[in-house]
Amino acid sequence: MPEKKQTVPFSGTKEQEEALLQVIAEQKDEPGALMPILQKAQDIYGYLPMEVQKIISDETEIPLEKIYGVATFYSQFSLSPKGKYRISVCLGTACYVKGSGDIYNALMEKLGIVGGECTPDGKFSLDACRCVGACGLAPVMMVNDEVYGRLTVDDIDEILAKYE
Amino acid sequence: MENVNLKINGLDVSAPAGSTILEAAHIAGIKIPTLCFLKDLNEIGACRMCVVEVKGARNLAAACVHPVSEGMEVRTNTPQLIESRKRTLELILSDHDKKCLSCVRSGNCELQALCQELGVADEEYFAGESNQYELDTSAAHMVRDNNKCILCRRCSAVCEKSQAVGVIGPNRRGFATFIGSPFEMGLGDTSCVACGQCIAACPTGALYEKDFIDEVLAAIEDPKKHVVVQPAPSVRAALGEEFGYPMGTDVEGKMAAALRRIGFDKVFDTDFSADLTIMEEAHEFIERVQNGGVLPMMTSCSPGWVKYCEHYFPDLLEHLSSCKSPQQMFGAVTKTYYAEKMGIDPKDIVCVSIMPCTAKKFEIGREDQNAGGVPDVDISLTTRELARLIRKVGIDFQSLPDEGFDDPLGESTGAGVIFGATGGVMEAALRTAVETLTGEELQNVEFREVRGTDGIKEAIYHVAGMDVKVAVASGLANAKEILKKVRAGEADYHFIEIMCCPGGCVNGGGQPQVHADVRNFEDVRAIRAKVLYDNDAAKAVRKSHENASIQKLYEEYLGKPGSEKAHHILHTSYVKRSIN
């Protein structure tokens, strides 16, 4: 089934909107303008929420569904913002055989979000990543730049508590 | 145009330069199977059903998009090709809900037909992981069952290109790809106009109308209910296709007989209220012209078009005629005039419509459509549902006699019949408006300039010292072109007819589905429209204002066209909606 709807309220600023409108005005008559517009929109907002995609749709007359289809096709685009604390769980081979899948699932359950999403308070976002180069510590996860290794599911509460 | 010569399966074939292999093979009478291909709309060469061998080419070519060239040698039916197509089908089946016995498209499914033709022996050959989707039942008119979707993208191509709506499309990628709306909205929350062209384009049972057959049967069975039925003009032009008649057969008489045998208390005809619509609409048009009203006036019979205008051109709503559609006028008259005449409480009348249309299911639930204090129309079925209903109650359609409609709401003129073809409403309105304005009898009632299946038609008529400039558009992408001109003040039309579906109601989203291998090579719109024009030409009375039952309705009840009473019963209002 499709992933859940975004849960973080939109908080775009007027400056961001002006920057986006300028990008659209520059690009919209070029053939194939949607990709560069989406890329720049993500640069401006950090992600592509419905409000941003709607502005693009209104200005370019490209149906919202078409924009959403492109935004969900490419992994470079994110529909959710990144949290204050960005959690990445390594699902690379070594970590995976050491049980990082369980850790990833436990995090989704504890945070109430699925991979790629952000908690409604904007605190934690969760992503899967591939190999952070610390296979000797497998399974590994990172919170911002902090690395946690040799994890078990039981360690998660304690780690999250450090950021509460 | 220049021709190129090639060989297909050893036969010499000459085809216009620029043709595809599929088209050249068709000229030679050779059928190449297709699945995702819809001419002019979905030419993506994605499904690989139409693969052929081209001598010298490294890979199999998709015949639907591969152009022919001089001296090309093509083979379309080698054992390897048949095997390749079979394998493709088996892969599609690995993620397809194969509950064929209970599927609405069973017997009429393009995927099923191909599996049979190519001899797929094991539908579980590639059994493995499969996607599970919940049904989307959020729209008033239809259901999306993605478990049956094969991702051909025909629906989304039609929605975007033919209808300029684009509320459905592929989301995500790879195995997770599904056809849906933005941000997982239900279709009912989008600016879908309910035209049902996606259903008409779907090769499988992934898209279908909401079915109300059992509600109709329950009403007929209820002794307290007086159940009347009104089939739209276009239904008689296509219903026969469901019962083995060639496309283009008029089954009006058998349709009336079937409806009577199903058990409706009265078998009336939407053609009657099409005539009534003309009375009101022609009057409204003349009044707008003479009193400086908003011009151009636009027709309002097509609920898909009305909804489109509300979503996408809300600034032009004043241009829409305030007339209800024939379906709604019929219900309104049934539950006021007819109810009083017969001494029946409108609450005890069940008005059932048979429509070539799925948007009619949305329309019956609109606000301001309840002249008798109850909804004008209670249940709206599509042509396809009527066919299923006829089969369900065990009627042998082919052996039925030809019968007529009941009085008084069954009488109609040729003007009412042609409503189902693009340009028909315009022509019918002109027949009445011109005679009203000039006070003289028309020598020729046929306005041929507005006939035909072109997406946009224009004409100027000299009437009573005035040049009346008219335009006719069908298919919302064509309508959008005209509307943009109106919005920009670049169009000086007086009267515009707009039909949501390409070719008008004969090609509506509720009509019998036509497989792509027919639709890609035949003009369904023209073949069905001819039924209506022939029906009109054979009628003694061809002008709405000469319909004796309509004249009586005004004498006994409504007064004059445009009267206060007529306004209360036969006119409506519109709302602004947003784009999603």
Q: What is the DSSP string of B155-184?
A: HHHIIIIITS----EEES-GGG-EEE-GGG
A9 pLDDT above the threshold of 90: no
Cα(A89)–Cα(A10) distance, rounded to whole angstroms? 26
Average pLDDT of chain A to the nearest whole number:
92
Long-range contacts formed by A34-40: CB under 8 A, 24+ apart? A34/A60, A34/A62, A34/A66, A34/A67, A34/A70, A35/A70, A38/A67, A38/A70, A38/A71, A38/A77, A39/A76
Interface confidence, given as ipTM, is 0.92
- SS3 state of residue B496: strand
Report the pLDDT averaged over residues B157-174.
Answer: 97
pLDDT for residue A5: 52
A56 pLDDT above the threshold of 90: yes
Q: What order of strands is seen across the sheet that includes strand B61-62? A: B11-16, B3-8, B73-75, B51-54, B61-62
Interface of B with A in 180-219 (CB under 8 A): 180-184, 190
| Nearest neighbour of A1 by CB, restricted to B133, B167, B579 | B133
Report the pLDDT averaged over residues B482-493.
Answer: 96
Calculate the CA dihedral of residues B4, B10, B12, B13 and round it to 10 degrees. -50
pLDDT tens string B96-125:
999 999 999 999 999 999 999 999 999 999
pLDDT for residue A75: 84
pLDDT for residue A164: 81
Which of B282, B283, B279 is closest to B333 using CA atoms? B279
CB atoms A50 and B190 under 8 Å: no
- In eight-state DSSP terms, residue A46 is S
| Nearest neighbour of B166 by CB, restricted to A58, A65, A73 | A65
- The helix-helix angle for B270-290 and B424-438 (nearest 10°) equals 50
Alpha helices (H) along B186-269: 197-201, 213-221, 252-262
Report the pLDDT averaged over residues B62-84.
Answer: 98
Instruction: State how far the alpha carbon of A109 is from the alpha carbons of A112, A123, A126, B567, in Å.
Output: 5, 15, 11, 60
Report the pLDDT averaged over residues B540-567.
Answer: 97
pLDDT for residue A2: 43
pLDDT for residue A1: 37
pLDDT for residue A7: 67
pLDDT tens string B245-294:
999 999 999 999 999 999 999 999 999 999 999 999 999 999 999 999 99
CB atoms within 10 A of CB B88: 19
A86 beta partners: A125
Closest Cα in chain A to B168? A65
**Residues ≥6 apart with Cβ < 8 Å to B39:** B519, B520, B521
A142 beta partners: A88, A147
Average pLDDT of chain B to the nearest whole number:
97
pLDDT tens string B13-35:
999 999 999 999 999 999 999 99
Rg, C-alpha atoms of chain A: 18
Closest Cα in chain B to A73? B172
Given pLDDT bands bounded at 50, 70 and 90, which one contains residue B518? Answer: very high
Question: Per residue in A122-144, is it b (16+ CB within 10 Å) or e — as a string?
Answer: bebbbbbeeebebbebbbbbbbe
pLDDT tens string B392-441:
999 999 999 999 999 999 999 999 999 999 999 999 999 999 999 999 99
Rg, C-alpha atoms of chain B: 25
Contact B148, B205 (CB under 8 A): yes
- All residues of chain A having their beta carbon less than 8 Å from the beta carbon of residue B156 are 65
- Give the best residue of A65, A72, A76 to mutate against chain B (max B CB count within 10 A): A65
CB atoms A2 and B171 under 8 Å: yes
CB atoms B171 and A69 under 8 Å: yes
pLDDT tens string B286-333:
999 999 999 999 999 999 999 999 999 999 999 999 999 999 999 999
Instruction: State how far the alpha carbon of A101 is from the alpha carbons of A112, A139, B127, B131, B442, in Å.
Output: 16, 9, 26, 21, 81
Distance from CA of B166 to the nearest CA of A (A): 6
pLDDT for residue A162: 93
Cα(A86)–Cα(A108) distance, rounded to whole angstroms? 13
Contact B276, B412 (CB under 8 A): no
Given pLDDT bands bounded at 50, 70 and 90, which one contains residue B499? Answer: very high
Report the pLDDT averaged over residues B355-384.
Answer: 97
Token output for B110:
């393009």
Q: What is the pTM of this model?
A: 0.93
- In eight-state DSSP terms, residue B13 is E
Cα(B172)–Cα(A111) distance, rounded to whole angstroms? 24
- SS3 state of residue A101: helix
Per the listing, tokens 């059994």 go with B127
Contact B303, B362 (CB under 8 A): yes
For a pLDDT cut of 70, what percent of chain B falls above it?
100
pLDDT for residue A130: 86
CB atoms B181 and A65 under 8 Å: yes
Alpha helices (H) along B106-157: 110-118, 154-157
A118 beta partners: A125
pLDDT tens string A97-122:
999 999 999 999 999 999 989 999 99
Contact B508, B234 (CB under 8 A): yes
CB atoms B169 and A69 under 8 Å: yes
